[in-house]
Structure 1
Protein backbone atom coordinates (compact mmCIF):
# COMPACT_ATOMS: atom_id res chain seq x y z
CA UNK A 1 0.00 0.00 0.00
CA UNK A 2 1.62 3.22 -1.13
CA UNK A 3 0.03 5.57 1.39
CA UNK A 4 0.24 9.32 0.87
CA UNK A 5 1.07 10.28 4.45
CA UNK A 6 2.94 13.47 5.31
CA UNK A 7 3.98 13.99 8.98
CA UNK A 8 3.21 17.51 10.19
CA UNK A 9 3.28 17.94 13.96
CA UNK A 10 2.75 16.35 17.37
CA UNK A 11 -0.29 16.07 19.62
CA UNK A 12 -1.61 14.10 22.60
CA UNK A 13 -4.15 14.20 25.43
CA UNK A 14 -3.61 15.76 28.83
CA UNK A 15 -6.68 16.35 30.99
CA UNK A 16 -8.85 15.60 27.92
CA UNK A 17 -7.10 18.28 25.85
CA UNK A 18 -4.83 17.60 22.89
CA UNK A 19 -1.27 18.86 23.37
CA UNK A 20 2.06 18.11 21.69
CA UNK A 21 2.90 14.39 21.78
CA UNK A 22 1.42 12.80 18.63
CA UNK A 23 1.96 13.03 14.87
CA UNK A 24 -0.46 14.49 12.39
CA UNK A 25 -0.52 13.23 8.82
CA UNK A 26 -2.05 14.47 5.60
CA UNK A 27 -3.92 12.02 3.39
CA UNK A 28 -4.27 13.00 -0.24
CA UNK A 29 -7.48 12.62 -2.22
CA UNK A 30 -8.46 14.07 -5.57
CA UNK A 31 -10.84 16.55 -3.91
CA UNK A 32 -8.90 17.55 -0.78
CA UNK A 33 -6.25 16.64 1.75
CA UNK A 34 -7.54 15.30 5.04
CA UNK A 35 -5.44 16.06 8.12
CA UNK A 36 -5.50 13.18 10.61
CA UNK A 37 -3.98 13.37 14.07
CA UNK A 38 -2.41 10.20 15.47
CA UNK A 39 -1.12 9.29 18.92
CA UNK A 40 2.56 8.38 18.94
CA UNK A 41 2.11 6.14 21.98
CA UNK A 42 -0.54 3.52 22.64
CA UNK A 43 -1.98 0.27 21.36
CA UNK A 44 -4.85 -0.15 18.91
CA UNK A 45 -6.86 2.88 17.83
CA UNK A 46 -4.01 5.37 17.90
CA UNK A 47 -2.81 5.48 14.30
CA UNK A 48 -4.04 5.18 10.72
CA UNK A 49 -3.57 1.49 9.94
CA UNK A 50 -3.04 0.21 6.41
CA UNK A 51 -6.40 -1.58 6.52
CA UNK A 52 -8.11 1.73 7.22
CA UNK A 53 -6.38 3.34 4.25
CA UNK A 54 -7.43 0.49 1.96
CA UNK A 55 -11.05 0.62 3.14
CA UNK A 56 -11.19 4.41 2.95
CA UNK A 57 -9.73 4.44 -0.54
CA UNK A 58 -12.18 1.69 -1.55
CA UNK A 59 -15.05 3.99 -0.53
CA UNK A 60 -13.37 6.82 -2.44
CA UNK A 61 -13.08 4.59 -5.52
CA UNK A 62 -16.74 3.51 -5.32
CA UNK A 63 -17.84 7.11 -4.93
CA UNK A 64 -15.88 8.07 -8.05
CA UNK A 65 -17.60 5.29 -10.03
CA UNK A 66 -21.05 6.27 -8.73
CA UNK A 67 -21.47 3.07 -6.71
CA UNK A 68 -21.39 4.64 -3.23
CA UNK A 69 -24.74 5.81 -1.84
CA UNK A 70 -24.14 9.05 0.03
CA UNK A 71 -27.73 9.12 1.31
CA UNK A 72 -27.22 6.07 3.53
CA UNK A 73 -26.60 6.45 7.25
CA UNK A 74 -23.26 5.15 8.53
CA UNK A 75 -21.97 3.98 11.90
CA UNK A 76 -18.29 3.18 12.33
CA UNK A 77 -17.18 0.71 15.00
CA UNK A 78 -13.73 1.03 16.55
CA UNK A 79 -13.16 4.31 14.74
CA UNK A 80 -9.72 5.03 16.24
CA UNK A 81 -8.52 8.10 14.35
CA UNK A 82 -11.84 8.23 12.47
CA UNK A 83 -10.29 8.27 9.01
CA UNK A 84 -12.75 5.85 7.37
CA UNK A 85 -15.84 7.54 8.77
CA UNK A 86 -14.46 10.97 7.90
CA UNK A 87 -13.91 9.89 4.29
CA UNK A 88 -17.50 8.65 4.10
CA UNK A 89 -18.82 11.87 5.64
CA UNK A 90 -16.81 13.96 3.17
CA UNK A 91 -18.97 12.48 0.40
CA UNK A 92 -22.22 13.38 2.18
CA UNK A 93 -23.07 10.43 4.43
CA UNK A 94 -24.30 11.18 7.94
CA UNK A 95 -21.83 9.30 10.13
CA UNK A 96 -21.57 8.36 13.80
CA UNK A 97 -18.00 7.45 14.74
CA UNK A 98 -17.75 5.24 17.82
CA UNK A 99 -14.99 3.97 20.07
CA UNK A 100 -14.05 3.72 23.74
CA UNK A 101 -14.19 6.93 25.76
CA UNK A 102 -10.40 7.40 25.80
CA UNK A 103 -10.39 7.83 22.02
CA UNK A 104 -13.13 10.48 21.89
CA UNK A 105 -10.71 13.45 22.23
CA UNK A 106 -8.75 12.19 19.21
CA UNK A 107 -11.93 11.61 17.21
CA UNK A 108 -13.29 15.04 18.09
CA UNK A 109 -9.98 16.66 17.15
CA UNK A 110 -9.95 14.97 13.74
CA UNK A 111 -13.58 15.84 13.07
CA UNK A 112 -12.91 19.48 13.90
CA UNK A 113 -9.71 19.51 11.83
CA UNK A 114 -11.60 18.35 8.73
CA UNK A 115 -14.96 20.04 9.35
CA UNK A 116 -14.74 22.16 6.19
CA UNK A 117 -14.49 19.01 4.04
CA UNK A 118 -17.51 17.21 5.55
CA UNK A 119 -20.69 17.32 3.46
CA UNK A 120 -22.66 15.10 5.84
CA UNK A 121 -23.26 15.29 9.58
CA UNK A 122 -20.63 13.68 11.80
CA UNK A 123 -20.43 13.10 15.52
CA UNK A 124 -18.29 10.96 17.81
CA UNK A 125 -19.89 8.76 20.48
CA UNK A 126 -18.71 6.26 23.07
CA UNK A 127 -19.67 2.67 22.30
CA UNK A 128 -18.21 -0.28 24.19
CA UNK A 129 -18.54 -3.63 22.44
CA UNK A 130 -20.65 -6.23 24.21
CA UNK A 131 -22.44 -3.71 26.42
CA UNK A 132 -26.22 -3.40 25.86
CA UNK A 133 -26.93 -0.61 23.40
CA UNK A 134 -28.33 2.64 24.75
CA UNK A 135 -31.54 4.10 23.27
CA UNK A 136 -29.66 6.77 21.26
CA UNK A 137 -27.90 4.10 19.16
CA UNK A 138 -29.70 3.73 15.83
CA UNK A 139 -29.84 0.99 13.20
CA UNK A 140 -27.52 2.20 10.42
CA UNK A 141 -27.68 1.43 6.73
CA UNK A 142 -23.92 0.77 6.70
CA UNK A 143 -21.52 -0.32 9.44
CA UNK A 144 -17.85 0.43 8.78
CA UNK A 145 -15.03 -1.44 10.53
CA UNK A 146 -11.31 -1.35 9.82
CA UNK A 147 -8.66 -3.34 11.70
CA UNK A 148 -11.06 -4.09 14.56
CA UNK A 149 -10.03 -7.72 15.02
CA UNK A 150 -6.76 -7.96 16.90
CA UNK A 151 -7.37 -9.56 20.31
CA UNK A 152 -9.34 -12.80 20.64
CA UNK A 153 -10.96 -11.67 23.89
CA UNK A 154 -12.67 -8.82 22.01
CA UNK A 155 -14.21 -11.03 19.31
CA UNK A 156 -17.37 -12.14 21.12
CA UNK A 157 -18.24 -8.62 22.40
CA UNK A 158 -17.66 -7.25 18.89
CA UNK A 159 -19.91 -9.87 17.29
CA UNK A 160 -22.62 -9.16 19.88
CA UNK A 161 -22.57 -5.45 19.10
CA UNK A 162 -22.51 -6.04 15.34
CA UNK A 163 -25.55 -8.31 15.40
CA UNK A 164 -27.48 -5.98 17.72
CA UNK A 165 -26.80 -2.96 15.52
CA UNK A 166 -27.82 -4.64 12.27
CA UNK A 167 -31.26 -4.40 10.77
CA UNK A 168 -32.36 -6.73 7.96
CA UNK A 169 -30.95 -4.38 5.30
CA UNK A 170 -27.78 -3.25 7.07
CA UNK A 171 -24.51 -3.86 5.24
CA UNK A 172 -21.24 -4.30 7.13
CA UNK A 173 -18.13 -3.23 5.26
CA UNK A 174 -14.89 -4.20 6.99
CA UNK A 175 -11.18 -4.56 6.38
CA UNK A 176 -8.46 -6.52 8.13
CA UNK A 177 -4.82 -7.34 7.48
CA UNK A 178 -3.18 -10.77 7.61
CA UNK A 179 -0.47 -10.68 10.26
CA UNK A 180 2.37 -13.05 11.02
CA UNK A 181 1.12 -13.38 14.57
CA UNK A 182 -0.41 -16.56 15.97
CA UNK A 183 -2.64 -14.79 18.47
CA UNK A 184 -4.00 -12.39 15.86
CA UNK A 185 -4.56 -15.21 13.36
CA UNK A 186 -6.58 -17.06 16.00
CA UNK A 187 -8.65 -13.94 16.66
CA UNK A 188 -9.40 -13.45 12.96
CA UNK A 189 -10.34 -17.12 12.54
CA UNK A 190 -12.70 -16.97 15.51
CA UNK A 191 -14.22 -13.73 14.25
CA UNK A 192 -14.87 -15.10 10.77
CA UNK A 193 -16.35 -18.29 12.22
CA UNK A 194 -18.72 -16.19 14.32
CA UNK A 195 -19.63 -13.99 11.36
CA UNK A 196 -20.66 -17.03 9.31
CA UNK A 197 -23.33 -17.81 11.89
CA UNK A 198 -25.00 -14.42 11.44
CA UNK A 199 -23.96 -13.03 8.05
CA UNK A 200 -23.53 -13.84 4.39
CA UNK A 201 -19.90 -12.95 3.64
CA UNK A 202 -18.52 -11.75 0.31
CA UNK A 203 -14.88 -10.77 -0.15
CA UNK A 204 -14.23 -7.80 -2.42
CA UNK A 205 -11.72 -8.89 -5.09
CA UNK A 206 -8.58 -6.81 -5.50
CA UNK A 207 -9.62 -5.70 -8.99
CA UNK A 208 -12.73 -4.04 -7.50
CA UNK A 209 -10.69 -2.04 -5.00
CA UNK A 210 -8.84 1.23 -5.49
CA UNK A 211 -6.21 0.60 -8.20
CA UNK A 212 -3.42 2.22 -6.17
CA UNK A 213 -4.50 1.26 -2.65
CA UNK A 214 -4.87 -2.50 -2.36
CA UNK A 215 -2.73 -5.34 -1.11
CA UNK A 216 -2.86 -9.13 -1.23
CA UNK A 217 -2.70 -9.33 2.57
CA UNK A 218 -5.44 -6.78 3.29
CA UNK A 219 -9.00 -8.02 2.89
CA UNK A 220 -12.26 -6.12 2.42
CA UNK A 221 -15.44 -8.02 3.28
CA UNK A 222 -19.10 -7.23 2.70
CA UNK A 223 -21.46 -8.76 5.26
CA UNK A 224 -25.25 -8.98 5.04
CA UNK A 225 -27.37 -10.36 7.89
CA UNK A 226 -28.75 -13.85 7.35
CA UNK A 227 -32.52 -13.62 7.20
CA UNK A 228 -34.07 -15.66 10.01
Structure 2
Protein backbone atom coordinates (compact mmCIF):
# COMPACT_ATOMS: atom_id res chain seq x y z
CA UNK A 1 0.00 0.00 0.00
CA UNK A 2 2.93 2.39 0.76
CA UNK A 3 4.26 1.77 -2.73
CA UNK A 4 0.86 2.51 -4.24
CA UNK A 5 0.65 5.78 -2.35
CA UNK A 6 4.05 6.87 -3.59
CA UNK A 7 3.02 6.12 -7.14
CA UNK A 8 -0.11 8.24 -6.74
CA UNK A 9 1.94 11.15 -5.38
CA UNK A 10 4.43 11.18 -8.22
CA UNK A 11 2.28 10.46 -11.26
CA UNK A 12 0.07 12.72 -13.33
CA UNK A 13 -3.71 12.68 -12.91
CA UNK A 14 -3.98 10.51 -16.00
CA UNK A 15 -1.65 7.95 -14.54
CA UNK A 16 -3.56 8.02 -11.26
CA UNK A 17 -6.77 7.14 -13.03
CA UNK A 18 -5.13 4.37 -14.99
CA UNK A 19 -3.58 2.85 -11.87
CA UNK A 20 -6.88 3.09 -10.01
CA UNK A 21 -8.63 1.41 -12.92
CA UNK A 22 -6.23 -1.50 -12.83
CA UNK A 23 -6.71 -1.93 -9.09
CA UNK A 24 -10.50 -1.95 -9.36
CA UNK A 25 -10.50 -4.30 -12.32
CA UNK A 26 -8.32 -6.74 -10.40
CA UNK A 27 -10.43 -6.58 -7.25
CA UNK A 28 -13.91 -6.60 -8.76
CA UNK A 29 -13.72 -8.05 -12.23
CA UNK A 30 -15.58 -5.04 -13.66
CA UNK A 31 -15.09 -3.97 -17.23
CA UNK A 32 -14.10 -0.42 -18.17
CA UNK A 33 -17.08 1.91 -18.18
CA UNK A 34 -18.78 0.17 -15.25
CA UNK A 35 -17.20 2.20 -12.45
CA UNK A 36 -18.91 5.23 -11.02
CA UNK A 37 -18.31 7.62 -8.12
CA UNK A 38 -20.73 9.91 -6.37
CA UNK A 39 -22.28 12.08 -9.04
CA UNK A 40 -20.94 15.57 -9.74
CA UNK A 41 -23.03 18.17 -11.57
CA UNK A 42 -20.12 18.86 -13.92
CA UNK A 43 -19.71 16.24 -16.64
CA UNK A 44 -15.90 16.22 -16.80
CA UNK A 45 -15.66 13.47 -14.18
CA UNK A 46 -19.03 11.81 -13.91
CA UNK A 47 -21.09 8.88 -12.85
CA UNK A 48 -21.50 6.51 -15.80
CA UNK A 49 -24.08 4.11 -14.45
CA UNK A 50 -27.09 3.92 -16.79
CA UNK A 51 -29.78 3.90 -14.10
CA UNK A 52 -28.86 5.96 -11.04
CA UNK A 53 -31.40 7.20 -8.51
CA UNK A 54 -31.78 10.74 -7.23
CA UNK A 55 -29.87 10.16 -4.01
CA UNK A 56 -26.76 8.91 -5.77
CA UNK A 57 -27.08 11.84 -8.18
CA UNK A 58 -27.21 14.18 -5.22
CA UNK A 59 -23.96 12.74 -3.81
CA UNK A 60 -25.31 10.68 -0.91
CA UNK A 61 -21.90 9.20 -0.10
CA UNK A 62 -23.29 6.73 2.45
CA UNK A 63 -25.20 4.88 -0.27
CA UNK A 64 -22.82 5.39 -3.20
CA UNK A 65 -22.02 2.08 -4.86
CA UNK A 66 -20.51 0.59 -7.98
CA UNK A 67 -22.71 -1.77 -10.00
CA UNK A 68 -21.65 -4.27 -12.62
CA UNK A 69 -24.10 -4.66 -15.48
CA UNK A 70 -22.95 -8.28 -15.90
CA UNK A 71 -23.59 -8.94 -12.21
CA UNK A 72 -26.13 -6.39 -10.88
CA UNK A 73 -26.12 -7.90 -7.42
CA UNK A 74 -22.43 -7.19 -6.90
CA UNK A 75 -21.84 -3.81 -5.30
CA UNK A 76 -18.58 -2.31 -4.10
CA UNK A 77 -18.29 0.72 -1.83
CA UNK A 78 -16.47 3.61 -3.50
CA UNK A 79 -14.94 6.88 -2.35
CA UNK A 80 -16.56 10.01 -3.75
CA UNK A 81 -13.11 11.28 -4.75
CA UNK A 82 -12.48 8.55 -7.33
CA UNK A 83 -13.73 8.54 -10.90
CA UNK A 84 -13.16 7.24 -14.39
CA UNK A 85 -13.61 9.58 -17.35
CA UNK A 86 -15.85 7.99 -20.02
CA UNK A 87 -14.63 7.96 -23.60
CA UNK A 88 -17.90 7.77 -25.49
CA UNK A 89 -21.32 9.37 -25.10
CA UNK A 90 -23.10 6.02 -24.97
CA UNK A 91 -21.55 5.52 -21.51
CA UNK A 92 -23.18 8.66 -20.13
CA UNK A 93 -25.88 8.14 -17.48
CA UNK A 94 -29.40 8.78 -18.65
CA UNK A 95 -29.73 11.98 -16.66
CA UNK A 96 -26.67 13.48 -18.38
CA UNK A 97 -27.97 12.88 -21.89
CA UNK A 98 -29.06 16.20 -23.41
CA UNK A 99 -32.11 14.70 -25.12
CA UNK A 100 -34.24 11.65 -24.35
CA UNK A 101 -37.13 10.25 -26.35
CA UNK A 102 -40.09 8.33 -24.94
CA UNK A 103 -42.83 6.42 -26.73
CA UNK A 104 -45.86 6.12 -24.44
CA UNK A 105 -48.78 4.49 -26.21
CA UNK A 106 -49.31 6.52 -29.38
CA UNK A 107 -47.41 9.55 -28.08
CA UNK A 108 -43.80 10.46 -28.70
CA UNK A 109 -42.33 12.70 -26.01
CA UNK A 110 -38.94 14.37 -26.50
CA UNK A 111 -37.36 15.81 -23.36
CA UNK A 112 -34.37 18.14 -23.41
CA UNK A 113 -32.69 17.46 -20.08
CA UNK A 114 -30.76 20.12 -18.15
CA UNK A 115 -28.93 18.37 -15.33
CA UNK A 116 -26.11 20.92 -15.26
CA UNK A 117 -28.40 23.86 -14.48
CA UNK A 118 -31.32 22.34 -12.54
CA UNK A 119 -30.13 18.92 -11.39
CA UNK A 120 -32.83 16.43 -10.40
CA UNK A 121 -35.68 18.75 -11.48
CA UNK A 122 -34.67 18.72 -15.15
CA UNK A 123 -34.30 15.03 -15.97
CA UNK A 124 -36.69 12.11 -16.40
CA UNK A 125 -36.53 9.44 -13.70
CA UNK A 126 -37.72 5.85 -13.99
CA UNK A 127 -40.60 6.52 -11.60
CA UNK A 128 -42.04 9.07 -14.04
CA UNK A 129 -41.65 6.78 -17.06
CA UNK A 130 -43.32 3.87 -15.23
CA UNK A 131 -46.23 6.05 -14.07
CA UNK A 132 -46.73 7.26 -17.66
CA UNK A 133 -46.91 3.67 -18.88
CA UNK A 134 -49.30 2.73 -16.08
CA UNK A 135 -51.68 5.58 -16.92
CA UNK A 136 -51.53 4.76 -20.63
CA UNK A 137 -52.62 1.20 -19.81
CA UNK A 138 -55.38 2.49 -17.51
CA UNK A 139 -56.78 5.51 -19.33
CA UNK A 140 -60.04 5.39 -17.38
CA UNK A 141 -58.15 6.59 -14.30
CA UNK A 142 -57.54 10.03 -15.83
CA UNK A 143 -59.92 10.52 -18.77
CA UNK A 144 -62.23 13.48 -18.09
CA UNK A 145 -60.88 14.05 -14.57
CA UNK A 146 -59.32 17.09 -12.93
CA UNK A 147 -55.69 16.25 -12.27
CA UNK A 148 -52.71 17.88 -10.61
CA UNK A 149 -49.12 16.67 -10.86
CA UNK A 150 -46.81 17.57 -7.97
CA UNK A 151 -43.05 18.03 -8.29
CA UNK A 152 -43.42 17.52 -12.02
CA UNK A 153 -39.81 18.05 -13.10
CA UNK A 154 -40.04 17.65 -16.87
CA UNK A 155 -43.83 17.33 -16.69
CA UNK A 156 -43.90 14.14 -18.71
CA UNK A 157 -46.50 12.49 -16.44
CA UNK A 158 -48.87 15.45 -16.69
CA UNK A 159 -48.36 15.61 -20.45
CA UNK A 160 -49.38 11.97 -20.87
CA UNK A 161 -52.36 12.46 -18.54
CA UNK A 162 -53.53 15.35 -20.73
CA UNK A 163 -53.17 13.28 -23.89
CA UNK A 164 -55.32 10.63 -22.21
CA UNK A 165 -58.15 13.10 -21.67
CA UNK A 166 -57.38 14.61 -18.28
CA UNK A 167 -57.80 18.27 -17.34
CA UNK A 168 -54.30 18.69 -16.02
CA UNK A 169 -52.44 21.22 -13.89
CA UNK A 170 -48.68 20.56 -13.90
CA UNK A 171 -46.77 22.09 -10.99
CA UNK A 172 -43.19 22.69 -9.86
CA UNK A 173 -41.12 25.14 -7.85
CA UNK A 174 -40.54 28.61 -9.29
CA UNK A 175 -36.89 27.90 -10.09
CA UNK A 176 -37.86 25.13 -12.54
CA UNK A 177 -40.81 26.83 -14.22
CA UNK A 178 -38.92 28.02 -17.30
CA UNK A 179 -37.66 24.53 -18.01
CA UNK A 180 -41.03 22.89 -17.30
CA UNK A 181 -42.88 25.30 -19.57
CA UNK A 182 -40.48 24.66 -22.43
CA UNK A 183 -40.84 20.86 -22.21
CA UNK A 184 -44.63 21.06 -22.01
CA UNK A 185 -44.97 23.46 -24.95
CA UNK A 186 -42.53 21.37 -27.02
CA UNK A 187 -44.61 18.24 -26.55
CA UNK A 188 -48.29 19.14 -26.41
CA UNK A 189 -50.60 21.76 -27.90
CA UNK A 190 -51.84 23.56 -24.79
CA UNK A 191 -54.63 25.21 -26.81
CA UNK A 192 -55.95 21.86 -28.02
CA UNK A 193 -55.54 19.89 -24.80
CA UNK A 194 -56.67 20.92 -21.34
CA UNK A 195 -53.27 21.40 -19.68
CA UNK A 196 -51.68 24.26 -17.75
CA UNK A 197 -48.43 24.86 -15.89
CA UNK A 198 -48.20 26.72 -12.59
CA UNK A 199 -45.99 27.18 -9.54
CA UNK A 200 -46.64 25.16 -6.40
CA UNK A 201 -44.26 25.16 -3.46
CA UNK A 202 -45.31 22.60 -0.85
CA UNK A 203 -43.96 24.82 1.92
CA UNK A 204 -46.02 27.86 0.90
CA UNK A 205 -49.63 28.97 1.20
CA UNK A 206 -51.93 26.58 -0.70
CA UNK A 207 -55.05 28.77 -0.66
CA UNK A 208 -54.74 29.51 -4.38
CA UNK A 209 -55.78 25.87 -4.87
CA UNK A 210 -59.13 26.02 -3.07
CA UNK A 211 -60.85 23.03 -4.66
CA UNK A 212 -59.80 19.39 -4.44
CA UNK A 213 -58.67 17.54 -7.56
CA UNK A 214 -60.06 14.20 -8.64
CA UNK A 215 -56.58 12.76 -9.26
CA UNK A 216 -53.18 13.70 -7.83
CA UNK A 217 -50.00 12.39 -9.45
CA UNK A 218 -46.51 12.28 -7.96
CA UNK A 219 -43.44 10.56 -9.43
CA UNK A 220 -40.31 10.28 -7.27
CA UNK A 221 -41.44 13.04 -4.92
CA UNK A 222 -40.51 11.38 -1.60
CA UNK A 223 -36.73 11.47 -1.67
CA UNK A 224 -36.04 14.43 0.70
CA UNK A 225 -37.12 13.74 4.27
CA UNK A 226 -37.23 17.42 5.22
CA UNK A 227 -40.14 17.91 2.79
CA UNK A 228 -42.27 15.00 4.05
CA UNK A 229 -44.50 16.98 6.42
CA UNK A 230 -45.18 19.63 3.78
CA UNK A 231 -45.84 17.03 1.09
CA UNK A 232 -48.36 15.19 3.26
CA UNK A 233 -49.98 18.55 4.06
CA UNK A 234 -50.17 19.30 0.32
CA UNK A 235 -51.76 15.94 -0.46
CA UNK A 236 -54.34 16.54 2.27
CA UNK A 237 -55.14 20.07 1.10
CA UNK A 238 -55.58 19.12 -2.56
CA UNK A 239 -57.79 16.09 -1.91
CA UNK A 240 -61.13 15.00 -0.53
CA UNK A 241 -62.62 11.56 0.09
CA UNK A 242 -63.20 11.05 -3.66
CA UNK A 243 -59.68 11.99 -4.75
CA UNK A 244 -57.36 9.23 -5.95
CA UNK A 245 -53.60 9.76 -5.47
CA UNK A 246 -50.98 7.82 -7.43
CA UNK A 247 -47.42 7.89 -6.08
CA UNK A 248 -44.69 6.27 -8.17
CA UNK A 249 -41.41 5.71 -6.34
CA UNK A 250 -38.43 3.63 -5.40
CA UNK A 251 -38.54 2.63 -1.73
CA UNK A 252 -34.78 2.79 -1.27
CA UNK A 253 -34.22 3.74 2.35
CA UNK A 254 -35.90 3.68 5.73
CA UNK A 255 -36.97 7.30 5.30
CA UNK A 256 -39.02 6.37 2.21
CA UNK A 257 -40.97 3.83 4.24
CA UNK A 258 -41.38 6.49 6.90
CA UNK A 259 -43.17 8.74 4.40
CA UNK A 260 -45.57 5.95 3.46
CA UNK A 261 -46.30 5.43 7.16
CA UNK A 262 -47.00 9.15 7.51
CA UNK A 263 -49.45 8.97 4.60
CA UNK A 264 -51.27 6.04 6.20
CA UNK A 265 -52.35 8.29 9.08
CA UNK A 266 -54.63 10.15 6.69
CA UNK A 267 -55.00 7.91 3.62
CA UNK A 268 -55.77 4.29 2.79
CA UNK A 269 -52.63 3.19 0.95
CA UNK A 270 -52.43 0.27 -1.46
CA UNK A 271 -49.67 -0.93 -3.77
CA UNK A 272 -51.21 -1.28 -7.24
CA UNK A 273 -48.20 -1.87 -9.49
CA UNK A 274 -44.65 -3.22 -9.22
CA UNK A 275 -42.14 -2.81 -12.05
CA UNK A 276 -39.52 -5.25 -10.81
CA UNK A 277 -37.10 -4.61 -13.67
CA UNK A 278 -36.75 -0.94 -12.68
CA UNK A 279 -37.54 -1.29 -9.00
CA UNK A 280 -40.50 1.07 -9.18
CA UNK A 281 -43.66 0.78 -7.07
CA UNK A 282 -46.93 2.63 -7.64
CA UNK A 283 -49.17 3.28 -4.63
CA UNK A 284 -52.80 4.34 -4.68
CA UNK A 285 -53.99 6.53 -1.82
CA UNK A 286 -57.52 7.55 -0.86
CA UNK A 287 -58.43 9.80 2.06
CA UNK A 288 -59.74 8.09 5.18
Fold shared by both chains (TM-score > 0.5): yes
> How many residues end up aligned between the 2 structures?
195
Matches within 5 A, 1:170-189: 170-179=243-252, 185-189=253-257
Q: Where does residue 158 of structure 1 map in the other structure?
A: 231
Q: Where does residue 56 of structure 1 map in the other structure?
A: 132
Q: Where does residue 70 of structure 1 map in the other structure?
A: 143
Label 1:30 to 1:161 Cα distance change in 2 as closer, same or farther (>3 A).
closer
For 2:190 and 2:200, how far apart are their aligned partners in 1? 25
Q: Where does residue 95 of structure 1 map in the other structure?
A: 168
SS at match of 1:139: coil
Checking the alignment, whether the CA contact within 8 Å between 2:104 and 2:132 is kept in structure 1 is no
1:215 partnered with 2:284? no
Which protein, 1 or 2, shows the higher relative CO under an 8 Å CA cutoff with sep ≥ 6? 1
What is the alpha-carbon root mean square deviation over aligned residues? 2.5
Label 1:34 to 1:137 Cα distance change in 2 as closer, same or farther (>3 A).
farther
Deviations 1:41-62 (A, max 9, x none): 2432221000111111000111
Deviations 1:97-121 (A, max 9, x none): 1110011111110111012498631
SS at match of 2:264: helix
For 2:166 and 2:193, how far apart are their aligned partners in 1? 5
Structure 1 stretches of 4+ with a deviation exceeding 4 A read none
Which has the larger share of strand?
Answer: 1
SS at match of 1:223: strand
- TM-score, structure 1 normalization: 0.78
1:192 partnered with 2:268? no
For 2:132 and 2:107, how far apart are their aligned partners in 1? 14
Q: Find the structure with the greater CA-based Rg.
A: 2
- TM-score, structure 2 normalization: 0.62
